[in-house]
Amino acid sequence: MAISDQTTPNIPMKLDIGEQRQARITGTVLIGLSILVALVFAMDSDGLAVFRLSRTTDALPLPNLAVPAQSFNYLVSAVLAFLGVRQFARGGARWTSLSLGIGMAIAVAAFLVWATAGKSFSLTGMLQATVVRAVPIALGGLAGVLCERVAVVNIAIEGMLLAGAFTGALVGSLLGGIPGLAAAIAIGGLFGFILAALVVSYRMDQIIAGVVINLFVLGLTSYVSSQVFQEYRTLNNAPVFRAYKIPLLGDIPVIGPMLFQQNLFVYGALIMVAVSTYYLFYTRRGLRARAVGEHPRAADTLGINVYRIRYINVTLGGMVAGFGGAWFTLGSVGRFDENMTGGRGYIGLAAMIFGRWHPVGALLAALVFGFADSMQQKLALLQTPIPSEFLAMAPYIATIIVVAGFVGRARAPAADGKPYIKE
């Protein structure tokens, strides 16, 4: 009793202090952003920033969105300042995270307006590219969710993506697009199964197993592409899945080109996110899978076969990653290059954490990364004074900030990363 009397009052106090600290930090960040927007973006921008919303060929063309750059940025700065001061004034406010999110979003908008001032820029084009670039990250993140929900840390997503890309190109060149896609999914599933075997049955350290699969796939695909593809170029020339416009829905301005004029991979990713959300949270099997991730011993006691569920989920995750890997070849260029995934799998892992181990969250996080990625591409065309290398870094820095900022609040499955030894 004495102990509990001493400790109980401390806990809420501590939490309050943590919340206040968070509010202080958020407030400081927001006020810093406000000053940045006012001094750098607003002072320096004049004229109109013209955002093109539709192409002339669209069925329902929208007029261009013309924003007076300077006044818009002063307005943004004022809103940021208000949000920041509010954090200090009402320490521990409930809207801390929301304020930070809104603040970041409008700061990015201010940045875009500043970069576009006096020029014109296709907003819809960038949003469309955002969705396209988010696909492999979202699928990587989804693969991560499926694996980590059963407590298997999957660092090997990168390798599975690369294997899917490679197989898609190879089989796609030999047999055509659909068999190529099927083979990519199969090879992803195979590596998922191998990962499951290594970590579940042979209890290898999960991170080491993942790194090894990445190294192995990188070595194998690089070896074959330099040993075989160099000589037989026809083996590395796969057909590409073209965009398919869904009737009616595809004609909606802005949203149509973003979501309904895309290729198979975008539709596939959206469907998979929906299906796996349903699977994980609305089916008996999904409940069992999550039980295995949270408390394998309890699940085992209830008669759930922990090993089998881990095998199934990790293999499924591998198949999703294999599908995502095929995007690189069958969904965009049709040709495999050494290490062409370039760390997307790891970003997918970050998207999973950012998305709080939820398929929909992972998709939304992937869209944020896709946005950073496509913005960097489009901004290179606008010739901003910021060096292109720094723009290229932006998604990675964003990943670090996200992982550092959100990991404390998002909770991983309790047994994540731990092998389970059946008694």
Cβ–Cβ < 8 Å for 355, 163: no
Q: Name the residues that contact other proteins, by CB under 8 A.
A: 155, 198, 201-205, 207-209, 211-213, 215-216, 218-220, 222-224, 226-228, 343, 346, 349-350, 353, 387, 389-390, 392-393, 396-397, 399-400, 403-405, 407-408
Q: C-beta of 374: minimal distance to other proteins in Å?
A: 17
Q: C-beta of 346: minimal distance to other proteins in Å?
A: 5
State which residue, 121 or 357, has the beta carbon closest to other proteins: 357
Q: C-beta of 178: minimal distance to other proteins in Å?
A: 25
State which residue, 113 or 347, has the beta carbon closest to other proteins: 347
State which residue, 109 or 218, has the beta carbon closest to other proteins: 218
Q: C-beta of 64: minimal distance to other proteins in Å?
A: 33
State which residue, 64 or 222, has the beta carbon closest to other proteins: 222
Q: What is the 3-state secondary structure (H, E, C) of the chain?
A: CHHHHHHCCHHHHHHHHHHHHHHHHHHHHHHHHHHHHHHHHHHHCCCEEEEECCCCCCCCCCCCEEEEHHHHHHHHHHHHHHHHHHHHHCCCCCCHHHHHHHHHHHHHHHHHHHHHCCCEEEHHHHHHHHHHHHHHHHHHHHHHHHHHCCCCCCCCHHHHHHHHHHHHHHHHHHHCHHHHHHHHHHHHHHHHHHHHHHHHHCCCCHHHHHHHHHHHHHHHHHHHHHHHHCCCHHHHCCCCCCCEECCCHHHCCCHHHHHHEECHHHHHHHHHHHHHHHHHHHCHHHHHHHHHHHCHHHHHHCCCCHHHHHHHHHHHHHHHHHHHHHHHHHHHHCCCCCCCCCCHHHHHHHHHHHCCCCHHHHHHHHHHHHHHHHHHHHHHHHCCCCCHHHHHHHHHHHHHHHHHHHCCCCCCCCCCCCCCCCC
Name beta bridge partners: 67: 49
- The HSE-up count of residue 372 (CA atoms within 13 Å, CB side) is 21
Q: C-beta of 231: minimal distance to other proteins in Å?
A: 9
Q: C-beta of 205: minimal distance to other proteins in Å?
A: 6
Q: C-beta of 85: minimal distance to other proteins in Å?
A: 25
* Residue where the block lists tokens 């998604």: 395
Q: C-beta of 245: minimal distance to other proteins in Å?
A: 35
Q: C-beta of 190: minimal distance to other proteins in Å?
A: 15
* Residue where the block lists tokens 């990790």: 314
